[in-house]
Every structure is written in structure tokens, then in C-alpha cells.
Amino acid sequence: MSKMAMAALGLGAAYLMRNKNARDKLMKQIEAFTGTNTSKSGSNSGMNWQ
């Protein structure tokens, strides 16, 4: 990957780690796309960022 692509990926990840609303919105969009429903409580799948 180019340096520019890696920088964009890093900035996007940093933004999602700091902004809970953006994470929630992204997760809802992914769930709608895949047709799955991930639970925030009771599941320790590694995607539970609180």
C-alpha cells in the first residue's frame, strides 16, 4: 500500500476510536449491509468498544 493510503487508514481508525457516535453509525451501516445483528452487551467478540 502506498504511504497516502496508509495515512488515510490510520486517520480513519483514530477518528473511529475517539468518536463513539461515528462508531455506532458505522456499525449500524455494516449490520444493515450484512444483515446481521451484533449485540453490544453479553458478547465479547472484540468489537465491543465502550
pLDDT in tens, 16-46: 889 999 999 989 998 999 887 665 554 555 5
Q: pTM here?
A: 0.51
With respect to residue 39, please indicate whether it lies within any of the assigned structural domains: no
Q: What is the pLDDT of residue 1?
A: 74
With respect to residue 25, please indicate whether it lies within any of the assigned structural domains: yes
Number of compact structural domains in the chain? 1
Q: What is the pLDDT of residue 39?
A: 56
In whole angstroms, what is the distance from residue 32 CA to residue 29 CA? 5
Q: What is the pLDDT of residue 18?
A: 92
Please say whether the beta carbons of 11 and 43 come within 8 A: no
Higher-confidence residue of 4 and 43: namely 4
Q: What is the pLDDT of residue 35?
A: 85
With respect to residue 26, please indicate whether it lies within any of the assigned structural domains: yes
Domain that residue 21 falls in: 3-33
* Cell digits of residue 43: 458478547
With respect to residue 22, please indicate whether it lies within any of the assigned structural domains: yes
